[in-house]
Amino acid sequence: MSRTKSFFATAVMGCLSLAGIAFADAPVTDSQITDRVMGKLTVDDPAVAKRVQVATKDGIVTLTGFANTGMEAQRVLREAESVSGVVKVQNKLAVRQ
């Protein structure tokens, strides 16, 4: 492969990586999982994202903080479970009464 083609291929792979597109073989780190969960929460409802903390260890996501309703807590749980690389979600969210 020529130097130009090699450089172009490397640049494209780097851009895809920065855009959050993971390659099938690439392992997902705990920090990437945390960032992706928080990103989903922020896009879905920024107010909820401010009340929820996310921690990840060995692919296990722990959710802490507060939800205003049980339905909101379930939505946060489903969002976290949908992230690639998540092994399990521990839901420690408190529901405000």
Residue ranges per structural domain of the chain: 27-95
40 torsion bin: left (phi>0), alpha (psi -120 to 50), beta (else): alpha
Q: What's the whole-number average pLDDT of the chain?
A: 84
pLDDT digits (tens, 9 = 90+) for 50-63: 999 999 999 999 99
Determine if the pTM surpasses 0.75: no
Residue 70, Cβ neighbours under 10 Å: how many? 10
The CATH code that applies to domain 27-95 is 3.30.1340.30
Q: Reply yes or no on whether the pLDDT at 23 is more than 80.
A: no
Q: Given this model, what pLDDT does residue 17 score? A: 52
